[in-house]
Amino acid sequence: MPTQETPPAARVPLDHSHFLREALAMAREGKAAGSAPVGAVMVGPDGTVLARGRNRVGEKQTPEHVGESSVAHAEMDLFFQMGKLKEPETLTLYTSLEPCLMCGGASALLQVGRVVWATADPWGGSGRLIEWSNHPAMQDTEVIACPDPALEREGAALFAPEALKAFPDEGWALWRQKYPEETAAAEGAADSESAK
């Protein structure tokens, strides 16, 4: 019989790398649309993709998607699409970037069983403010951070230009410390662009 210490989603073996690649594809789609490169995928207990979301902060709101708002993050786009979650404890949320406090909190409030992200966000991620394992609402959520080093680097390279542009110096310093190669590439690209 299942125990409360092990959420149902944690007992379902899923190919994390496969679904993180899908989240990264959504992140690239967001970047191409003029929004931040962050993507998310919700997966059911049998491995079926239930919904896909991406950052839509720089896009118009539609009946299908939240947009034109600072809360139009990839996870929120996904949650709005899904509406009321059925058996949320059996679901796994895959994101290209560690969820912020808003999206991490929403995941906890919705009682999502597992959250997996490709790339840590040392400045904007919830973990900077409160350890995921210490968050009272996350006690029944399995959290898996950066399970695939190659995809972690891919996600860092994808988001680093956004971090350079959007985060204050303190945040960029944390990114440079965590992802030195990816941030150096972003700085080089920015310098080349400004020299034109």
Number of domains in the chain: 1
**Does some domain include residue 34?**
yes
**Does some domain include residue 124?**
yes
**Does some domain include residue 63?**
yes
Condensed to tens digits (0 to 9), the pLDDT of residues 50-107 reads 999 999 998 887 777 777 778 889 999 999 999 999 999 999 999 999 999 899 989 9
**Does some domain include residue 71?**
yes
Q: How far apart are CA 103 and CA 98, in angstroms?
A: 9
Per-residue three-class SS string for 49-61 = EEEEEECCCCCCC
Reply yes or no on whether the pLDDT at 173 is more than 60: yes
**Does some domain include residue 85?**
yes
Among 108-112, 119-123, 141-145, 189-193, the minimum mean pLDDT is found in 189-193
- DSSP β-ladder status, 49-54 and 92-97: unpaired
**Does some domain include residue 159?**
no
Query: Which amino acid, 172?
Result: W
- Residue span of the structural domain in which 102 resides: 16-148
The residue among 41, 53, 127 whose CA lies nearest residue 91 is 41
Q: What is the CATH classification number for the domain harbouring 107?
A: 3.40.140.10
The CA angle 55-101-29, to the nearest 5 degrees, is: 15
**Does some domain include residue 167?**
no
**Catalytic site positions:** 75
